[in-house]
Amino acid sequence: METTSIVGVKLDVKGGAGAVNFDVKAKLEEKERRSQTVVVGFSLQLTTKPSIVKFEIEGTATLTGKDTEINKMLEIDPETKVPYIFQKVYQNTFTAMYLLSTILNVPPPPIDLLLFRRGEGALAEHVTLEPETAETVEATAEEKLADESETGT
């Protein structure tokens, strides 16, 4: 994984006490596909409610391995409604966001934000993946599986 940009913006100078919820917006775009390798561009934007801080992270994740394993990482987790690859991206970018939150003196996002299941008291109030890019990746993964079954590979 390679992070190409990370930004932390303190939106409220006073900070804030009390409960903080995080909204997550994410984009996923397949950049390149070769035999046993897929390069995926990602963009994450985390904002808080109340409006205290905003984190924006962009980069690429390179998936290598068997095509079936790669396609599994691109699938959407039925519990979280987020592709498995984003769980890995978030885990890898969390440290940078945590450090930025310390420097800015704002609440950090939870380490397992994207792993929370609905209804378990998660701090993630709203997690979305932009539909156009999600459908593009899903369609590509499904097309690849169809191609493999037709060719017998």
Which tops the pLDDT comparison, 73 or 134? 73
Q: What global pTM score does this model have?
A: 0.68
Amino acid residing at 120: E
Residue extents of the structural domains in the chain: 2-145
Sign of the torsion angle spanned by Cα atoms 12, 14, 15, 16: negative
Contact of 12 with 51, CB cutoff 8 Å: yes
Q: How far, in Å, CA of 89 to CA of 117, rounded?
A: 18
CATH class of the domain comprising 2-145: alpha beta
Q: What is the pLDDT of residues 40-50, one digit of tens each?
A: 999 999 999 88
Nearest to 10 by CA among 59, 50, 58, 70: 50
Q: How far, in Å, CA of 52 to CA of 43, rounded?
A: 20
Nearest to 38 by CA among 59, 65, 57: 65
- Average pLDDT of the chain is 76
Stretch 51-80: mean pLDDT? 90
Q: How far, in Å, CA of 85 to CA of 82, rounded?
A: 8
Which tops the pLDDT comparison, 136 or 63? 63
Q: What is the pLDDT of residues 25-43, one digit of tens each?
A: 889 899 999 888 999 999 9
The pLDDT of residue 7: 94
With a cut of 60, say whether residue 153 has pLDDT above it: no
Q: How far, in Å, CA of 61 to CA of 65, rounded?
A: 13
